[in-house]
Structure 1
Amino acid sequence: MFYLSKIEHKLTLPPSLLALPIGEAIHTELERLFLDKVIANLGLCTSVYDIISIEGGSIFPGDGAPTYLVVFNLIMFRPFPGEIITAKLVSSDADGLRLSIGFFDDIYIPTHHMPNPNHYVPANSTKGTWFWDFDEENDLSFGINYSDEIKFQVQSVSYPPIPVEQPKESKPFAPMLISGSLDQDGLGPVTWW
Structure 2
Amino acid sequence: MYILVTLADVVQIPPSEFHKPSIRAIEDFVNTKYSDKVIHKVGLCIAFHSLISASEGLIGHGTGIVNVNVDFRLLVFRPFKGEILRGTISHSNMEGIYLSMDFFEDIIVPPPLLFDNTTWGTDDAGTEAFIWRTDNGEGGENEFFFDRAEKCYMRVEQEEWNDLSPQMKRPDDYDMDRRDKYGLKVGPYRIMASMMHSGLGPTLWWLGDEAPAEEATDAMELDGDMEA
Identify the residue that residue 165 of structure 1 maps to in structure 2: 174
Deviation at 1:188, TM superposition (A): 0.7
After TM superposition, the structure 1 = structure 2 runs for residues 78-117 of structure 1, keeping only pairs within 5 Å, are 78-117=78-117
Identify the residue that residue 132 of structure 1 maps to in structure 2: 132
Contact 1:94/1:122 (CA < 8 Å) preserved in 2? no
Stretch of structure 1 that moved more, 7-16 or 29-38: 7-16
Whichever structure has more helix as a proportion of its residues is: 2
Name which of 195, 198, 202 aligns with 1:182.
195
Deviations 1:107-162 (A, max 9, x none): 00011111111111269xxx720001112851322111123111110001222122
- TM-score w.r.t. the length of structure 2 is 0.77
Q: How far apart, CA to CA, are the structure 2 residues paired with 1:10 and 1:21?
A: 17
Q: How far apart, CA to CA, are the structure 2 residues paired with 1:168 and 1:60?
A: 40
Q: How far apart, CA to CA, are the structure 1 residues paired with 2:177 and 2:48?
A: 34
Residue 39 (structure 1) aligned with residue 47 (structure 2): no
Stretch of structure 1 that moved more, 82-91 or 114-123: 114-123
Contact 1:34/1:45 (CA < 8 Å) preserved in 2? yes
Structure 1 stretches lacking a partner, 5+ long: none
SS, match of residue 88 in structure 1:
strand
Counterpart residue type for residue 177 of structure 1? R
Q: How far apart, CA to CA, are the structure 1 residues paired with 2:65 and 2:90?
A: 44
Residue 152 (structure 1) aligned with residue 161 (structure 2): no
Against the structure 1 CA distance between its residues 14 and 99, is the aligned structure 2 distance closer, same or farther, given a 3 Å change threshold? same
Contact 2:40/2:163 (CA < 8 Å) preserved in 1? no
Identity of aligned residues (%): 28
Q: Which has the higher contact order (CA 8 A, sep 6+)?
A: 1
Q: How many residues matched?
A: 190
Deviation at 1:63, TM superposition (A): 4.0
Contact 2:134/2:143 (CA < 8 Å) preserved in 1? yes
Deviations 1:43-96 (A, max 9, x none): 111111111211131123344311111111111110000001111000111101
Q: How far apart, CA to CA, are the structure 1 residues paired with 2:135 and 2:110?
A: 22
Q: How far apart, CA to CA, are the structure 1 residues paired with 2:53 and 2:157?
A: 37
Structure 2 stretches lacking a partner, 5+ long: 207-228
